[in-house]
């Protein structure tokens, strides 16, 4: 079981002080939060992708690569990567590079996003959003597993003899989670490929997404990847913790009151009772998470959002101390004790390498399987006579 945090990278005014952090302050604070997550013993840090204010994370690969250089153990992920408006060729290249820099400590959650204008900004039609998500991942899957790809689809130019570089580390692509809160086709795609399914169940009644998760489990088994309980499931959540329950509610209340993502016809107490929002003492957060295990069954990854709606970095760091010291250790013990022996372990680069190679050495693919350009397979640096030294055309 993996425990961690995720961020959507919003830059929001602190309603208790009226101050709004700059982009530089928010980026620096996010790096501190990620490093703190590793320090307190969490497993995962994930960052979203946005291309509009008030968010800053337009380039998750740059941020995650930087964090990788400052950490040693933390798994780095996305929450989410926009598979609809990004070119799958660029996704293959950029995240393979980030995987190398992180020495395997990287995976992705793919999603369609929730910002309507982003589609025309990148030359896409939102009415094709689902078809883009399906086709783009189908190509990404092949680019990471085939050294040379011939491909033709609906939404981008065809590829002939194309090799994306660098090749995935150890010839094992980053693990993929497909994120969705309403679309069975995405759950179907995750199941078809044997990938993970992430239900970011934040703003709905607790258990609302159980039917979608159960559908994914059924289809995972249908495609022969294992039993339903071996399917790879991740859940999102929110947490705000204090030693005393009332202090937690009092601390979160001004941020809750100003955050536009909540239905303010409900009180904070009602939200905490009815949704995955966990507010209160460490034990209350533990109980809420164990309730999710009872509802959804054994799952592999639990991520909480803790830095949104204007919460200052100092407060988030204090929250992480409580999460890492008083919540997660208990959850590791309690959830392991309740866990079915047949449930799958959380995927890591190491586990994927072992699953593919056993005790053998991982394959080290050539930097470019074509040994030349991606159309003809010939090199501009080599004469037709291989006995002659290579010459760059400029100097011929």
Q: Which CATH architecture has domain 2-395?
A: Alpha-Beta Barrel (3.20)
Q: How far apart are CA 70 and CA 59, in angstroms?
A: 18
pLDDT > 90 in the chain, percent: 82
The confidence score (pLDDT) of residue 367 equals 58
Cα–Cα nearest to 144, from 100, 188, 111, 80: 100
**E strands along the chain, which residues?**
2-7, 44-47, 75-78, 81-82, 108-111, 149-151, 159-162, 176-179, 196-199, 233-241, 277-280, 301-305
Q: What is the mean pLDDT of residues 295-324?
A: 97
Segment 74-112, tens digit of pLDDT: 999 999 999 999 999 999 999 999 999 999 999 999 998
- CA 59 to each of CA 68, 137, 204: distance values in angstroms, whole numbers, following the listed order: 14, 19, 29
Contacts of 138 (CB under 8 A, 6+ apart): 153
Segment 324-354, tens digit of pLDDT: 999 999 999 999 999 999 999 999 999 999 9
Residue 378 has pLDDT above 60, yes or no: no
Q: What is the mean pLDDT of residues 25-35?
A: 98
Q: How far apart are CA 23 and CA 143, in angstroms?
A: 34
Cα–Cα nearest to 47, from 100, 6, 96: 6
pLDDT band at 371 (very low <50, low <70, confident <90, very high): very low
Helix (H, G, I), strand (E, B) or coil at 15: coil
The confidence score (pLDDT) of residue 190 equals 97
Exposed (0-12), middle (13-18) or buried (19+): which is 332, by Cβ within 10 Å?
A: middle
Q: How far apart are CA 108 and CA 176, in angstroms?
A: 5
Tokens representing 96 are: 């393979």
The confidence score (pLDDT) of residue 392 equals 36
pLDDT band at 366 (very low <50, low <70, confident <90, very high): low
CA 284 to chain centre: 26
The answer to whether 103 touches 143, Cβ cutoff 8 Å, is no
Q: The whole model's pTM is what?
A: 0.91
The confidence score (pLDDT) of residue 393 equals 34
Listed by start position, the domains of the chain span 2-395
Segment 185-209, tens digit of pLDDT: 999 999 999 999 999 877 888 888 9
Which comes out higher in pLDDT, residue 275 or 241? 241
Q: How far apart are CA 280 and CA 243, in angstroms?
A: 8
The confidence score (pLDDT) of residue 387 equals 46
The confidence score (pLDDT) of residue 115 equals 77
- What is the number of residues in the chain? 396
DSSP letters spanning 325-378: IIIHHHHHHHHHHH--TTSPPPP-HHHHHHHHHTTSPPP---S-TTSS-TTT--
Q: What rounded mean pLDDT belongs to the chain?
A: 91
Looking at the DSSP bridge assignments, the partners of residue 44 are 4, 75
Cα–Cα nearest to 115, from 139, 80, 144, 149: 80
Tokens representing 40 are: 């307190």
Q: What is the mean pLDDT of residues 158-174?
A: 96
């Amino acid at each position: 079981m993996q425990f961690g945090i995720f961020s959507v990278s919003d830059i929001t005014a602190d309603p208790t002080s009226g101050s709004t952090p700059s982009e530089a302050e928010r980026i620096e604070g996010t790096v501190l939060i990620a490093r703190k997550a590793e320090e307190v013993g969490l497993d995962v840090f994930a960052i979203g992708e946005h291309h509009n204010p008030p968010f800053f994370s337009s380039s998750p690969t740059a941020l995650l690569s930087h964090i990788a250089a400052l950490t040693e153990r933390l798994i780095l992920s996305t929450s989410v990567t926009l598979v609809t408006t990004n070119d799958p060729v660029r996704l293959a290249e950029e995240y393979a590079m980030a995987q190398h820099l992180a020495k395997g400590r990287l995976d992705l959650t793919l999603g369609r996003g929730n910002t309507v204008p982003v589609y025309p900004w990148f030359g896409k039609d939102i009415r094709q959003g689902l078809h883009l998500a399906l086709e783009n991942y189908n190509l990404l899957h092949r680019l990471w597993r085939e050294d040379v790809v011939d491909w033709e689809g609906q939404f981008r130019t065809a590829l002939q003899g194309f090799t994306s570089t660098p090749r995935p580390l150890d010839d094992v692509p980053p693990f993929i989670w497909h994120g969705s809160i309403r679309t069975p086709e995405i759950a179907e795609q995750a199941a078809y490929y044997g990938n993970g399914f992430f239900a970011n169940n934040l703003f709905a009644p607790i258990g609302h997404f159980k039917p979608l998760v159960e559908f994914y489990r059924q289809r995972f088994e249908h495609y022969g990847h294992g039993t339903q309980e071996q399917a790879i499931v991740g859940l999102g959540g929110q947490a705000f913790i204090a030693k005393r329950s009332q202090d937690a509610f009092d601390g979160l209340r001004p941020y809750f009151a100003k955050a536009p993502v909540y239905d303010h016809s409900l009180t904070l107490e009602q939200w905490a009772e009815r949704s995955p929002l966990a507010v209160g003492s460490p034990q209350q957060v533990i109980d809420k998470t164990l309730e999710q295990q009872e509802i959804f069954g054994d799952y592999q990854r639990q991520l909480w959002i803790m830095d949104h709606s204007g919460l200052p970095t100092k407060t988030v760091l204090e929250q992480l101390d409580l999460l890492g010291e008083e919540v997660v250790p208990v959850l590791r013990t309690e959830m392991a004790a309740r866990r079915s022996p047949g449930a799958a372990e959380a995927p890591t680069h190491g586990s994927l390498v072992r699953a593919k190679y056993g005790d053998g050495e991982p394959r080290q693919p050539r930097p470019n399987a074509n040994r030349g350009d991606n159309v003809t397979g010939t090199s501009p640096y080599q004469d037709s006579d291989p006995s002659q030294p290579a010459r760059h055309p400029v100097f011929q």
